Chains A and B, each alone.
Chain A
Amino acid sequence: QVQLQQWGAGLLKPSETLSLTCAVYGGSFSDYYWNWIRQSPGKGLEWIGEINHSGSTTYNPSLKSRVSISGDTSKNQISLRLSSVTAADTAVYYCARSGYSRSSSFFDYWGQGTLVTVSS
């Protein structure tokens, strides 16, 4: 059974860097894309970006200048870094799995979510 478990700092000050990690248990790490998605009351669900086992990444243009997704295949983990955060980055952040082809880029397994609050 596939499980995604995520963790990271939940309270940040403006201008700091958000850092989250997601570990994948069960299933194949290399046969899928691994994504970060966030959910805020104001903007709903927003796809942040994806990474595959080779380290190939794609980011949402709206966040591209501040976001970095990396992977560690030895630990079956992915990580998210978002720099220069503001209150607008306050959201619940999820990691999620999607298929390896564009025709299967829906999200079938999700982490439990991490609430990140940006406040001075």
Chain B
Amino acid sequence: EIVLTQFPGTLSLSPGEGAALSCRASQTVSSNSLAWYQQKPGQAPRLLIYGASSRATGIPDRFSGSGSGTDFTLTISRLEPEDSAVYYCQQYGSSPPYTFGQGTKLEIK
């Protein structure tokens, strides 16, 4: 089972700034099969990025994904107050079980 570690645990930034959220896998994620999700309180996770760098339908281009192998990054540019949320990575490159990181909480102050 691939273990995903996300860092930092919490990130506090101001509107207009940029954010870089990291996700590190315990072994190579094949075919860059990594997704990112955004979750706000009381809501289900929302798909942002799949295939490490492809934006899901309706996701603004302020959100971008990069990385390969074991190290992946979600970059959010020009932060807006509504970007406050917990962000999770998920790998699906190996046979099930699919696994998630523990999340990064992004606060926009």
Chain A residues lying within 8 Å of B72, measured Cβ to Cβ, are: none
Interface size class of B (residues with CB under 8 A): 20 to 34
Q: Is A26 an interface residue (CB 8 A)?
A: no
Q: Is B97 an interface residue (CB 8 A)?
A: yes
Q: Quick check: A61 and B33 within 8 Å, CB to CB? A: no
Q: Is A100 an interface residue (CB 8 A)?
A: no
Q: Quick check: A50 and B96 within 8 Å, CB to CB? A: yes
Binding site for B on A (CB under 8 A): 44-47, 49-50, 58-62, 94, 96, 98, 102-108, 110-113
- Since A96-B44, A103-B51 are in contact, a sample of 17 more A-B pairs with Cβ atoms closer than 8 Å, ordered by chain A residue number, is A44-B103, A47-B96, A47-B97, A47-B99, A50-B96, A58-B96, A59-B96, A60-B97, A61-B97, A94-B44, A98-B92, A103-B33, A103-B92, A105-B33, A105-B98, A106-B47, A110-B46
